Each structure stands twice: as C-alpha cells, then as structure tokens.
Structure 1
C-alpha cells in the first residue's frame, strides 16, 4: 500500500510524488484562483513579472517549488537523523499539505519564501556539537533575510536563530550579533537599490502598507471537512511529538525542540499579518510536515497509516476538483 511504499524509500517515490502534485494541482490549470495583491515584496514582485500570475508557466514553477522543497526538507531531516527511520514521509506530507485547496495552487509568496526558510533551518540544525557556528548562524540569517524579500513576516524567524542557540549552544554573544547581519545586509542592499533608482517612496509604501495575501480567498463548504482532518492530524501528531521527546536522545530531542519553536513562531506570525490565515498556514507547513511524519514513523499499525493517507488524498483531490466544478 501507499504508506509502505513511502516508507520504503524506493526510487519510484521520485516519480510518484510529482504525479501526486500534478493531480492535485491540475484544477488550477483549468481555473486559477483570484490573486489581487498589492505592494508585493521586492523579489516576489520581480518573480511575478518574470513568470506571470495564473499562467501555465507560473503553475509549473509552483509544482516544481513544492516538490523540490518537500524533498529538500526530507533530506535535511534524514541528514540529521531526526526521525527514527529514513523515509520520504516528510516530503510526502509537505507536498500534500501545500495542495489542500485551490487557493494554494500557485507559487504564492510564502511557498517561495519557504525554500529559503528550509535552507535556513538546515543551517541551524548543523550547529549541534560544533565549536564555531558563526558561519551557520550567518548563513541562516542571510537566508531568512532573502526570504523576507518574498514574504516580509519571514523576518520574524530570526528569533528561531536565537532560540536554536539557547537550546543547543552555550551562551556566546557573537552568535546573537551575527544573527542580525544577514537581515541588515539585505536591508542595506535593498535600500541602496531603491535609493539609486529614485524609488524610495515605493519601497516605503510596500512595507508601510503590507497587505494580506489571502485577500479575496475564502474557505467554505466541503473544505471544512479537509481542514477538520488536518486539525485532527495536527493535534494528534503534535501531542505524539511532545510525548515522545523524553524517549529520544538528547541530540534528537534538542533538534525537535527547534522545529517546535519554528512551528510556534509561524503561528505567532498570524498576529503580525492582520489575521492572514492562508499565509500563516503556508508558513506552518514546514514544521507541520515534520511532526506529522514523526507520528506516522512511529505508527505500528500500518493499516491505520494507509487508511489515513488514502483518506487525506481522496478528500483533497475531491475538494480541489469540486472547487473548479469538475465534480
């Protein structure tokens, strides 16, 4: 069954996942959701000018982003042996969670920013048991700074660097100072570019009137059934993660705590985006995929795993095709 296949790490997974994403994203090729954004962050605005909004090319880019991010996150988790077994569960859940509603079926700002945030998380997980971590701290801060040029609230995850240093490092004041260098350098570069092009008022407007990216997007009808299943999965998986912390080694326990902090900071971003549900959900996806995979990795009854995964796939497929009138 599909659960066994995903856990087996067979090469066919590298074909299966893109097929699943294409099946889930196919409705967006028929009827793209409305995206009426204003004051886009600089790099995201540039990206949209290049790929277009609602074009087939932009949708293909979105699919590639989701698949690449899923496998990248999976690779990072496997590299640090955070889950008990090496498998593709993290990648699988990431691509599914990215595709639960037609409102997400495009390269939205948060999904693009997630690429850099996942890379930043990878840098932070490296600092365990290293003597000098200034390079990793700077890299993480720079990546978070770049992510903020696509989705501004990503900048809030600089706090994740401080949390990681507190959780797994003895106090070293240089780490906290260096963690600010990345965003500062990005900010100086951005300000210089807009100043040299006489566009400072435009830059000020972007940040002073930062808008929700979920404007005009709504959840209704059967979508609540999908969300209910996700909520149940989230509660069960997160509870399982917290209960299992004491059973892990100190290293794994601390690395999982960093991911828990990632989740909490993602949720807090909801309050600095004037209640942008869609963007907050997209930001939570990274941690959500990890602790859901953690729950399924410890699941002994494979039939339960198969049933839940098939149910989730069927509900998401039905909902997405229903939303564009194909069902």
Structure 2
C-alpha cells in the first residue's frame, strides 16, 4: 500500500476516501446512540445568533468528521508538496494524516481539536512564508489572528502563539516589530469579542473566557489498556522517522531543516497544552497529528526495506480497525 501513495497520482484521492470509510465503519456499529457535538468554546456558542443540537447520531458526526479529515489531509498534502518538504511529491502525508486521525475512537467524531487542524495547516502555510519574506510584519499580524481564531474554537490553541514566536526565531532575524505585529493580530480578534460583550452589557464576564488558564489540573481520561497496543507501532515509526531524518538532515535544504525543527516544537507545545483543561479527553491530541503525519510520511518515503515498512504499516492499520470492531 505504501508504494501506491509514494507516487503523486490523483487517483490516490479515491483510495484515501476508501481507506477513510473502512477505518471509521467499525465505530458506527458499536457507538452509543448519541454523541456530543461541540464546534466551539461555550463563550463563542453563546454569541451565535443560531443554535445547534448538543448531541447528534454517531453516524452523522462520523460523516462530518470524515469529510473534514479528507479535506485536511489533501490540504496538508498540498502544503508539503508545495514547499517540497519531503524532497519529492507524493500522497504519503495525506495517507498518514488519515490513518493517525483514526487512531482512537475519540478521534472519529467531529470535535473542536479536529476543526482546529484547519487553523494549524493555515498557520504552517503562513509561517513558512517567513523564510523568504522581506517584510514579515503583515504575515505576523495574520498568524496572530489565525491563532486567535483557533482559540475561539478550542481554548488550548492559545499556546500555539508560542509556535508563532518560535517560527520568528527560526526563520527571521530578530525584529521586535514582527513580534508586536503577531500580538496585535491576536488582540484584534479578542478586541471585537470584547466589543460584543460591551454592547450586550456583559463586559464584566469577558475575563471568564480566560479562567480555565488558571484552573488547577485535575485529571486525564486514560486510554483503555488495549489502546496502548496501538501506540507501539506509532512510537516505532516516529523513532525510525527521526533516525531517517537525522541521516539526511544536513543534506537537505535550509527551509526543510528549519521546517522540521518547527514541526517538532509544534508537536511538543500542542501535546502539553492539555494542561489548560482541568479534565480533558483524548480528542485533544488531534492537534498533534499534523506534525506527526509529516514525520511518518518522511520515514515511509525514504525507508528502503519494503517488507519491513509495509508490514509495520499493515500492523498499525489492522490494529486500528480491529480495536474499533471490538469493544471487549
């Protein structure tokens, strides 16, 4: 299967859709009657002039999530190929994104972290523009607004502003105006939120948006003991990908080296931003799969022993599907 997606063939979009359906069909069979539908933070939902149901059927939620995942996978694939981050075009980033987005059952329904991956991909498009831009202030302002928009959907996204500043360090010589522009862009979005609160005589509640940032951490929704088995091939692939990247690191273009450094920090910051939530679910880690999918794609593009990498990918894929069709 890997060799099929190593080539840049538009027909692979069809196979991506087929794989997406296969990986999600098992959940629909064993899902509860209703699943929660959350598309934004509560303070944003209260501002909307329309309301939507808090729960929907699992089939409908999985369908919406599947459409979102396929769109995000193609956008990520376009990003990687546009900047030639893997050295040659392929559909491996899209394949890896779809596989990782189905890793756990919590990933299969529509959720704010999944929606935020659109903003992460958009951020990466903008941040990579820092490399060749003569004047980055406009782009810095834009990425600040994108980070703020993601925060409206999912509050832990606020910490990805740190990724914006790390990108400025990696890609740009220091200029305080670039940093200020990113902060002004972020503040612009919440300025209009504050105006809305003021016009509705609720300005005294504006600070409550940020109260979860200071809430003590209370717990984590743990994986099922069987789900830990799925992490074994994931960890193996990540380690092999890092070794493969290390082999070719100094042979790569400067943009590629800098981008993989940024992706590493993206993963670390996104993973540890769970602390914003007093109690959170595994769906939070959906915001980590964009950088992981790129590392996966890098390994499978340059791996040489076909029997090994095909077997490893097959075990991961079968494990995901198996645990969805078995509730134990």
Q: Where on the TM-score scale, by shorter chain, does this alignment land: which range?
A: 0.7 to 0.9
Following superposition, the deviation at residue 226 of structure 1 comes to 0.7
- Residue 55 of structure 2, aligned match among 53, 56, 78: 53
Q: Equivalent residue for 2:11? A: 12
Following superposition, the deviation at residue 206 of structure 1 comes to 4.7
Following superposition, the deviation at residue 53 of structure 1 comes to 3.3
CA distance in 1, matches of 2:293, 2:22: 20
Q: Equivalent residue for 2:262? A: 258
Further displaced range: 52-61 or 66-75: 52-61
CA distance in 2, matches of 1:179, 1:102: 36
Following superposition, the deviation at residue 166 of structure 1 comes to 1.2
Following superposition, the deviation at residue 241 of structure 1 comes to 2.8
Q: Does 1:109 align with 2:128?
A: no
CA distance in 1, matches of 2:112, 2:274: 15
**Cα displacement string for residues 63-121 of structure 1 (whole angstroms, at most 9, x for unaligned residues):** 11111111111111111111022111111111111111212111111111111111011
CA distance in 1, matches of 2:130, 2:300: 27
- Residue 296 of structure 2, aligned match among 292, 295, 319: 292
Q: Which runs of 5+ in 1 are unaligned?
A: none
Following superposition, the deviation at residue 202 of structure 1 comes to 5.9
Following superposition, the deviation at residue 159 of structure 1 comes to 1.4
**Aligned alpha-carbon RMSD (Å):** 3.0
Further displaced range: 170-179 or 277-286: 277-286
CA distance in 2, matches of 1:267, 1:217: 14
TM-score by length of 1: 0.87
Over 6 Å off, 4+ runs: none
Q: Which runs of 5+ in 2 are unaligned?
A: none
* Contact 2:237/2:299 (8 A) holds in 1: no
Following superposition, the deviation at residue 192 of structure 1 comes to 1.9
Mark the CA change 1:216 to 1:280 in structure 2 (over 3 Å): closer, same or farther.
closer
Q: Does 1:235 align with 2:267?
A: no
CA distance in 1, matches of 2:295, 2:50: 32
Q: Equivalent residue for 1:23? A: 22
Indicate the SS of the match to 2:153: coil
Mark the CA change 1:48 to 1:122 in structure 2 (over 3 Å): closer, same or farther.
farther
Mark the CA change 1:48 to 1:250 in structure 2 (over 3 Å): closer, same or farther.
farther
CA distance in 2, matches of 1:48, 1:109: 18
Following superposition, the deviation at residue 52 of structure 1 comes to 5.0
Residue correspondence of structure 1 range 62-211 to structure 2 within 5 A: 62-200=65-203, 204-209=207-212
Further displaced range: 148-157 or 222-231: 222-231
TM-score by length of 2: 0.87
Q: Equivalent residue for 1:220? A: 224
* Contact 1:128/1:168 (8 A) holds in 2: yes
